[in-house]
Structure 1
Amino acid sequence: MGVLSELRALLRLSGFRKLFAVRLVSQAGDGMFQVGLASLLFFSPESQGSAAGIAGAFAVMLAPFTVVGPFAGVLLDRWRRRQVLVWGNAVRLVVTLAMGTVMLSVGGGSAWVIVLGLAALSVNRFLLAGLSAGLPRVVDGPLLLTANSLTPTLGAGAAFVGGGVGFVLSLALPEGRVHDASALLCAAVVFGAASLLALRLAPDQLGPEHPARGDLRGELAAVVRNLAGGARYLAARRTPGQALMAMAAHRFLYGIVFIASILIARNLLTSPGDTAAGLATFGLVIGMTGVGGAGAVLLTPTLSRYTGPQVWIALMLLLAAASQVLLMTTPERAVVLTGAALLGLAAQGAKIAVDTVVQRDTHDDVRGRAFAFYDVLYNAAFVGAAALAAFAVPDTGWSRELFGVLAAAYVVAAVLLWTRGARVPADVSPTLAVPGAGTDESRREKESTPSQGIPQPDQT
């Protein structure tokens, strides 16, 4: 009830209502677009049902989040964010219409579809960052925390609903080019609506108040240096660096299982080329993964108090190993769905604990760079998984040897973190994250900040 009352208080703010409407409509279009793209790249008769084809398409979809993400903030501090929302959605409208036109005229196998899809996903990365950056301009005080908690969650819900609408619409149409393009054409209409909704905001309402005017090339280079500095600090601090390495290993192995799941849903659990059935089966796998993730949200805050976050991460890695042992038995539907739920629980449980360690053990002066590096590592691990999956995963998606190797890798990561992982962060000066601060002299410029106020494991 408290959350509902705070949401009502937020909706009384005119600026928040307008920005919130843009988010909901824009992310509903995202859901439609992603369903259309996944249907085309992974499940349509024209897509390549091989591991290499699926992995390549998957890497293309993830590349913008890995490459564009770290640099979005630099441009959002230069451009009016309201204009980013207006023109970004307008660009997505044009690009998505172009994709639909290509699919209707020459089919989904054209390389132009991939290029246009990559462009649309890259613009989407800017839009998501712009929505978050503009939020403090329309909400302030205690409600900002509530707004930061609710808007991404409700936006993800809008994306889920949009994806469901796109999927249901595609079921109503006969197989063919119109079927493949339907979700994309609907997404284009929704993007246009989001662009028009953004016009209700004043041009300067979302900031920046003082747009950056410095050398753009120098600022982009500084992003790279700051990422490297954040990585250097996290490694020296030990606990957050080790937690991130565990998450990267988990994300890498999970990515291989994810691609194997697409292939199993497409080539084993349904008839290859049956777009609707394959997409529905994979949607069920993702749904069970979400059920496991929801369980982690309930269990992790309670049980990790008794283990500490590092041990909890190791336990989640062992649970992920158990899910792979289960998948070794048979590729039957019930086994695949159960394995997905267990892996979802392990993945989300580990991520919650990793987030806690990075937030808790990173100095506030470095926290922004630390999470920027976290974001890059999180997505890059998935792209790396796609590269390996192209060679390691069979075209059917299921291999007893593959899942055995994945289970063993999870066990090794768990044992290393449990037995060799640090429990207490090292005293490291935040100046270590400053570019050029890697020498002993520069490290002595500022005394290390003591770890005061850091919760003990039973308080986390």
Structure 2
Amino acid sequence: MSTAKTGSDHEAHHARVGPRALLALAGFRRLLFTRFSAQWGDGLFQAGLAGAVLFNPEREADPLAIAAGFTALLLPYSIIGPFAGALLDRWDRRRVLVAANVLRGALIVTSALSVAVGASGTTLFTLALVVIGVSRFINSGLSASLPHVVPVRNLVEANALATTLGAVIAVLGAGCAVGLRAIFGDDNLGSGTTTAVACLGSAGSAWFAIRFARGALGPDEVNEPSQTAVAVARGLYDGGRAAVKTPTVLAAFVALLAHRMAFGVALLLTVLLIRFRFDAGLGGLGQVAGLFGAGILLAGLVTARIVAAIGRRRALAGGLLLGAVAVVGFGLPLTMPTTLAAALVISFAGQVVKLCVDAAVQRDIGDDLRGRVFALYDTLFNVAQVVSIALAALVVAPDGASPLLVLGAGACYLVGVGGFALVSRGHA
């Protein structure tokens, strides 16, 4: 079993090599293109679906309908993730990435046809559950494969580059959806046509993935029962046990859990404010997405330097504190400019937290368990975000003007800081 040196602050002792040196690695470069194609398609599909449900004059939207839409985007992998993670640690990840992308492309076309013919919200949400579930599975496979294409000493920097650029590419995909809607129209047929274009991302991702040699992405060893069904059933248990037994990962999970719950509330409020209070339409949501992408890009540029300067633990806690300040300071005025500012700062803070958590899993979890831990990672935090959105939808004002929910989101961040400190101190 491949293992990694543990400890929250040891990254500071490794020199950064820079993006140019990382991109010179053929395997890393190919994995990046696999990720970029997949995430461009993800961004376009999700934005196309959001436009079809939230900003389509032929359909109505309210807080509960919006919450149901977010559930469709976030819940699927929360259900299948722990079990799929066992497959990532059992099956050739290269083969899994190819097959999953082909399946996702077919499902995207099916979803697009359903949008075009005016299928019910239940039908669309069910299809979205499956499409996004496959997408999450692909993302976990890409994350689990990263240590096979870069040296372990460069994982923090490589993960920051891959995750950040991938998120920016997803935002660009969402921007393409906005542009395509302007061409094809915002009715059911136009929305369906826009959504269908996302299948090109799946095709490109499968093409790049198939160029890897068999076994090149792991797993190196298989620590599983011979029966696949038993291996799948053990996914949740094994991932949870590995996370709990690794102090740096457990503490990081506590922090990210708090961020995702706070972010879920902020996300629902933002969509409602743009849709009903500011009347900014899909263009306003595009502005938020653009600033969100800018925050992610900025975090990718500076997180490795922050970790090198102050260590992963302080960087992670600082991200949570910045999130608390941003959500309250920019959220309470309830204006479009401050909402845009909140999108920029909260996305930056959240991405710093996420990159630190990714690094903890990639460095401190062995290769034979890494896929399951990443799958559990997605599951826990998507469930947390879905629950926070659902609970907020029950009490939020119809136009999103709910100061108490803003304060509640800030409190989530502060609870996360306290929980992270307690778990870290308890294992020190």
- TM-score, normalised relative to structure 2: 0.77
- 1:233 maps to 245
| Alignment partner of 1:94 out of 106, 115, 122 | 106
Change (3 A) 1:9 1:224: closer
Q: Match for residue 4 of structure 2?
A: none
Letter in 2 for 1:68: I
Let me know the Cα RMSD of the aligned residues: 4.1
1:262 pairs, out of 267, 271, 286, with: 271
Determine the C-alpha separation between the residues in 2 that align with 1:243 and 1:25: 29
Post-superposition Cα deviations, 1:366-419, rounded to whole Å, max 9, x if no partner, equal 9847665444332222122122122122221122232234334544555x459x
Match of 1:123 in 2: 134
Query: Is residue 22–residue 150 contact of structure 2 (8 Å, CA) maintained in 1?
Result: no
Aligned residues: 410
Distance 1:344 1:22, change over 3 A: closer
Residues 134-149 of structure 1: matches in 2 within 5 Å?
Answer: 139=149
Contact 2:51 2:186 survives alignment (8 Å)? no
Instruction: Report the CA distance between 1:299 and its aligned residue.
Output: 6.2
Q: CA deviation at 1:290?
A: 3.8
Q: Is the 8 A contact 2:324 2:414 kept in 1?
A: yes
Q: CA deviation at 1:25?
A: 3.1
Q: C-alpha distance in 1, partners of 2:281/2:250?
A: 39
Structure-1 residue corresponding to 2:42: 30
Residues 1:392 and 2:407 are matched in the alignment: no
- Is 141-150 or 163-172 further displaced after alignment? 141-150
Checking the alignment, whether the CA contact within 8 Å between 1:52 and 1:390 is kept in structure 2 is yes
Specify the code of the residue in structure 1 equivalent to 2:87: L
Cα displacement (A) at 1:44: 2.4
Q: Which stretches in structure 1 are left out of the alignment for 5+ residues?
A: 271-276, 428-460
State which drifts further: 346-355 or 248-257: 346-355
Q: 2:326 matched to which residue of 1?
A: 323
Check if 1:248 corresponds to 2:248.
no
Alpha-carbon distance, 1:188 to partner: 2.5
- For the 8 Å contact 1:49–1:395, the answer to whether it is kept is no
2:304 maps to 1:288 = no
Distance, in Å, in 2 between the alignment partners of 1:133 and 1:303 is: 24
Q: Please list the CA deviations of residues 90-141 of structure 1 after superposition, one character each: whole Å capped at 9, or x if unmatched.
A: 3223222222222222x1534222222221122223333444556677x576
From the superposition, tell whether residues 353 and 157 of structure 1 become closer, same or farther in structure 2 (CA, over 3 Å): closer
Q: Decide whether aligned partners of structure 1 residues 233 and 6 sit closer, same or farther in structure 2, where only a CA change above 3 A counts.
A: closer
Asked if the contact 2:77/2:137 (under 8 Å) is kept, the reply is no
Aligned counterpart, 2:13: none
Preserved CA contact (<8 Å) 1:96 1:185? yes
The one-letter code sitting in structure 1 at the alignment partner of 2:275 is R
Shift of 1:198: 5.3
Secondary structure at 2:381's aligned position in 1?
Answer: helix
Correspondence for 2:190 among 158, 167, 179: 179
| Contact 1:70–1:372 (8 Å) recurs in 2 | yes
AA at the equivalent of 1:170: R
> Larger Cα Rg: Structure 1 or Structure 2?
1
Distance 1:194 1:228 in 2: 30
Q: What is the identity percentage for the equivalent residue pairs of Structure 1 and Structure 2?
A: 32
Change (3 A) 1:293 1:178: same
**Alignment match, 1:10:** 25
Aligned-partner residue type, residue 10 of structure 1: L
**Structure having greater relative contact order (Cα 8 Å, sep ≥ 6):** 2
> 1:128 is matched by which residue type in structure 2?
N
CA-to-aligned-CA distance 1:6-30 (integer Å, 9 cap, x gap): 356334x7xx776655444333322
Deviation of 1:199 after TM superposition, in Å, equals 5.5
CA distance in 2, matches of 1:209, 1:363: 14
Q: 1:355 to 1:424 in 2, by over 3 A?
A: farther
**Structure 2: unaligned runs, 5 residues or longer:** 1-15
Cα distance in structure 2, aligned partners of 1:243 and 1:207: 25
CA distance in 2, matches of 1:158, 1:355: 19
Given residue 180 of structure 1, which amino acid in structure 2 is its aligned partner?
S
* Amino acid in the other structure paired with 2:276: N
The CA deviation string for residues 164-186 of structure 1, in whole angstroms up to 9 with x for no partner, is 22321111233322221122221
Q: Matches of 1:329 and 1:318 in 2, distance apart?
A: 17
1:62: how far off?
Answer: 0.6
Deviates more, 1:213-222 or 1:30-39: 213-222
Paired amino acid for 1:165? C
Whether 1:341 aligns to 2:344 is: yes
**Cα distance in 2 for residues equivalent to 1:308 and 1:208:** 29
Q: 1:426 matched to which residue of 2?
A: 427
DSSP 3-state at the match of 1:62: helix
User: Aligned AA for 1:421?
Assistant: L
Secondary structure at 1:396 match in 2: coil
The answer to whether residue 175 in structure 2 is matched with residue 164 in structure 1 is yes
Q: Does 1:73 align with 2:85?
A: yes
Q: Is the Cα contact below 8 Å between 2:93 and 2:141 reproduced in 1?
A: yes
How far, CA to CA, are the matches of 2:23 and 2:304 in structure 1?
27
